[in-house]
């Protein structure tokens, strides 16, 4: 069971140009340099159990923030607890995407996501040794395993959303030199397991192909092929169809396919879909908004 949330690759986004400004163009301090010493003692299993219970009912912003508080309490006891670090990496990204409208607030949440995801990856000894010697995440990710797929994905997602939503155009242009770094992380995810979490790596790559111009590798046919693979990998997950509606059908101007995917999402029981409840609530809310404003997309 995972404490991370399966929302569609969000957003507008990260994948807009697969760029990760945090690869080296800012004063970002790597997460593995920000560990704190334990300040409390206790049984972290009790807190983790509480976090899982909270996640099953987390259908609004405050409930997500309550889970974050619980997991941060785990770190006060065990700062290197992988489950808490990975969960925080996903949840901070999620609250930034799904429940934040203010740019400064989004920036805070995305940077927190990056920090915790880097700390989660750091619990892999081989990765630790490489970054301690000066390697970047994009270089050290080659040693990461299936265990680290969640922090890899949310590191990539948070960095891209930070680029898309929090930077001015001058900063975005400067950061385009970091494209190759983020691509290495995505490629590593695809190497490990492209079907992970209902085909999330497929969706990420598909979104790249859909949103990039042809001169930068965009290819709508490849995007459609990969979205199909994602749906085959996770037929009862909501995020693949959400991503396809947002990023592919809006490009091909297929209004009916757009409606079909979003109506399928709304027809699902958020408690019974394979993707976790909290993410499903968000995706259905987004689908309603997109259908209500369909003329804005076509």
Q: How far apart are CA 204 and CA 186, in angstroms?
A: 8
Contacts of 137 (CB under 8 A, 6+ apart): 23, 118, 121, 131, 155, 181, 185
Give the closest residue to 222 by CA, choosing from 231, 232, 240, 209: 209
Neighbouring C-beta atoms of residue 103, cutoff 10 Å: 11
Percent of the chain with pLDDT over 90: 77
Side-chain-side CA neighbours of residue 118 (13 Å): 25
Query: For the whole model, what pTM was predicted?
Result: 0.89
Quick: pLDDT tens for 109-160: 999 999 999 999 999 999 999 999 999 999 999 999 999 999 999 998 998 8
Residue 26 phi, psi dihedral angles, 5° rounding: -130, 180
Q: Which of 60-69, 144-153, 174-183, 235-244 has the lowest mean pLDDT?
A: 174-183
Q: State the pLDDT at residue 178.
A: 56
Q: State the pLDDT at residue 11.
A: 43
- Mean of the per-residue pLDDT values for the chain? 89
Torsion sign, CA atoms 104, 106, 109, 115: negative
pLDDT at 15 over 50: no
DSSP letter string, 180-214: HHHHHHHHHHHHH-TTHHHHHHHHHHHHHHHHS-G
Q: State the pLDDT at residue 167.
A: 76
| Residue 52: both structure tokens together | 């899982």
CA distance to 80, 88, 118, per residue, from 34 (Å): 11, 14, 10
pLDDT at 179 over 70: no
Q: State the pLDDT at residue 176.
A: 58
Q: Which of 11-20, 116-125, 152-161, 235-244 has the lowest mean pLDDT?
A: 11-20
pLDDT at 25 over 50: no
Quick: pLDDT tens for 192-233: 999 999 999 999 899 889 988 888 789 999 999 999 999 999
For the chain, state the CA radius of gyration: 18
Q: How far apart are CA 139 and CA 55, in angstroms?
A: 33
User: Residue holding tokens 């340099």?
Assistant: 33
Instruction: Kindly state the DSSP code that residue 106 receives in the 8-state scheme.
Output: H
Q: Which segment, 62-71, 167-176, 214-223, is predicted with the most confidence on average? A: 62-71
Mean pLDDT along residues 185-196: 96
Provide the angle, in degrees to the nearest 10, between the axes of the packed helices 149-166 and 82-98: 30
Query: Containing H/E element for 126?
Result: helix 125-132
Contacts of 88 (CB under 8 A, 6+ apart): 68, 71, 72, 75, 112, 113, 116
Asked if 98 contacts 7 with a C-beta cutoff of 8 angstroms, the reply is yes
Neighbouring C-beta atoms of residue 126, cutoff 10 Å: 12
Contacts of 165 (CB under 8 A, 6+ apart): 11, 12, 13, 103, 106, 110
Provide the angle, in degrees to the nearest 10, between the axes of the packed helices 125-132 and 103-122: 110
pLDDT at 19 over 50: no
**What is the CA angle 225-226-231, rounded to 5?**
100
């Amino acid at each position: 069971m995972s404490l991370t949330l399966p929302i569609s690759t969000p957003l507008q986004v990260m994948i807009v140009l697969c760029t990760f400004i945090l690869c080296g163009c800012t004063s970002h301090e790597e997460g593995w340099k920000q560990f704190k010493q334990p300040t409390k003692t206790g049984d972290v299993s009790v807190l983790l159990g509480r976090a899982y219970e909270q996640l099953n009912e987390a259908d609004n912003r405050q409930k997500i923030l309550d889970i974050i508080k619980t997991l941060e309490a785990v770190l006060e006891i065990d700062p290197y607890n992988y489950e808490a670090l990975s969960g925080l990496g996903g949840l901070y990204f999620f609250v930034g995407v799904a429940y934040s409208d203010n740019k400064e607030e989004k920036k805070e949440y995305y940077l927190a996501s990056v920090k915790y995801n880097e700390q989660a990856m750091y619990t892999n000894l081989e990765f630790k040794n490489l970054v301690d010697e000066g390697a970047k995440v994009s270089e050290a990710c080659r040693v990461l395993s299936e265990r680290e797929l969640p922090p890899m994905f949310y590191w990539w997602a948070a960095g891209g959303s930070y680029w898309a939503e929090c930077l001015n155009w001058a900063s975005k242009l400067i950061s385009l030199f970091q494209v190759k770094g983020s691509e290495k992380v995505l490629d590593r995810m695809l190497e490990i397991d492209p079907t992970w979490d209902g085909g999330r790596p497929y969706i990420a790559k598909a979104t790249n192909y859909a949103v990039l111009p042809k001169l930068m590798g965009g290819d709508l046919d490849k995007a459609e092929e990969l979205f199909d693979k994602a749906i085959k990998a996770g037929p009862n997950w909501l995020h693949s169809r959400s991503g396809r509606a947002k990023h592919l059908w809006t490009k091909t101007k297929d209004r009916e396919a757009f409606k079909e995917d979003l109506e399928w999402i709304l027809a699902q029981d958020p408690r019974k879909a394979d993707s976790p409840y909290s993410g499903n609530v968000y995706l259905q809310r987004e689908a309603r908004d997109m259908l209500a404003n369909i003329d804005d997309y076509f």
